Structure 1
């Protein structure tokens, strides 16, 4: 699908965030975890204080669950990733990705109830706040029993990553989520477990990985990253490195404003001849 998209064969669907999430995270799935996913996640910053995620060390394996459903508030995040460390401890990363759309907030009635007709403990329909609650409460359906056990083991080490196209952290969305979490007294010390990262940073990750990795033992893995880079470039998800100063020399025309024209054998003044200007003269206002 990625190659078809690069060649414009999926044009009606290119704006879909589900397709972008699939392109990116399915590529990471087939790469060594430290040659794609982890370098990308390390580009993230904390919602609260812009700190980097220093817990992403000694990662040896990643398990992916695409579009899982939460079992209480019925949300559908993009990807749940379970990371396994060298010591066999686990970390859960829940990805909520956006492309052209904003947060998918939901209007919930104050007296809403769950399936058992008991009051629904929601977070005012804020998508990120509700996903964060479901993640911390372990309310995510996982069919694979091995991955489910790893998720259960990750209690206390669960993080929500918000992925967007913004160059800078989308403060409005983040502050809105903060207010809901604080209002519902669900924040505590967990504010350090919410992170933001942008799609644009992936191209830098690809360049970093390819610069240090020879791919001697897996030469075809380079193609996965090259295809992903081509796709991101097609979508315009590229870093901005500022403007460059043009090197071209600008020639001064003979006339600075208009050219002379001839009419009825007369030369009508219609401009200033640049070659006859005297730098010392003042042509508009006289100095005192």
Structure 2
């Protein structure tokens, strides 16, 4: 296994800096494009030194051990990729993912007929879009929602509210009304950035995410799909797995993993976003990695040349 620097050129000419992990042996190799969740994330899914998802390295290593290459890249305005992540839209992220897919397929050491896409959270929604088009042989959806973006956000907000401390719960109606007013205000904006409670927020990304409906993409995926959501995910409804299974017309396998949370770590305790700092000190669930890599190895290594 070896890592090489790789740059994909976005539609507007911006270089997206990334890492291509290649397995041992001569190519061309099957490959996977890894797409991370929302926010200011680098190629490994990390935002800061304190909030480290660290999904990229263990997944790339596991795939390389199965003969599969992996490309992951820094989002706009993060790491070695220039730009401003606060003005980058949801649609920009999808277009950048498509550009990375084209760059990966264009390499002589990669099999263009055996490329899969793995997406987590927002990345899973973009993986649905890519999987509905050409050039993708398999799709893995980790905690991907299967309903309009605004519905998904409202479900998430309700679940998170239930995990707040008991002392705060009497304030939930007031907090809910305030959040509703802020959401209405963001939907009415036309600028890339807006201030909410004194903080600069990416309003363009939020408007586009709220308006996005992934169901048409799911209905147009003709390649095999593996969809996994944790039973203790409080950001994406595990019940959306049933909708994914209903909508995808071809081969689809869904798994609702007991105790798995949105950060892809297991927690036997009560599900809560307040547990994330503790969970992120542990590695990504090894059983999840084994399940994803085993499924992809079977689909990509056996793809017809």
Q: Which has the higher helix share?
A: 2
Q: Which has the higher strand share?
A: 2
Q: TM-score range by the shorter chain?
A: under 0.3
Structure 2-normalised TM-score?
Answer: 0.22
Query: Radius of gyration: which is bigger?
Result: 1
Structure 1-normalised TM-score?
Answer: 0.23
